[in-house]
Amino acid sequence: MAVETAVRPRSRVAVVLSAALGVLLVVILALAGILGVKAWKGKEAEDARGQAAAAGRKAAETALSYDYRSLDKSFAAARATMTPEFAGQFDATAKVAGEIATKTKATVRAEVRDVGVRDGDADRVTLVIFVNQTTTSTITQGRPRVDLNRTRFTMVRNGTQWLVQEIAGL
């Protein structure tokens, strides 16, 4: 009987230690999983910001450029970079801009100088785009006028493509 009594306390200690180690292992694995998911989402958001910035650069040069001799082509190319909802809003602005461009024989060429990411996640990114717009028209008497602009583009993921959801001046 003395042997049984000596073994019992040790086995209780062993059971408690095993249970504590098991709980500790579960906590460590849970923390590793949480940190792994956070790192993966962070990488995904970082990749998205880079993709949206590249798409925003191209979209800005397309959407902010036009030629009075080919307005339909210019505006169609711009709409192709936009969400359907924003393209509808753009059409109203493009109509007015097109009328003025035709009257003044205006050509506008946008050149993006820099793109900065203001904020964003894997599906939506806000950009600040620095763009120079060179305008030639009857108003400028055929001499190019360069306007240095800053615009805010909101880009949204549509499958594998990034589209402009909003353009706003700064």
Is residue 82 exposed (0-12), middle (13-18) or buried (19+ Cβ within 10 Å)?
A: buried
The pLDDT of residue 8 is: 56
Residue-number span of the structural domain to which 108 is assigned: 2-169
Report helix angle 71-79 to 2-63, nearest 10: 170
Q: What is the CATH number of the domain that holds 150?
A: 3.10.450.230
Q: How many domains does the chain have?
A: 1
Which pLDDT score is estimated for 3?
Answer: 52
The model carries a pTM of: 0.74
Handedness of CA 64, 48, 118, 121 (dihedral sign): positive
List average pLDDT for each run of 10 residues in the chain, which is 170 residues long: 54 85 89 85 85 96 96 96 96 93 96 94 95 94 93 95 93
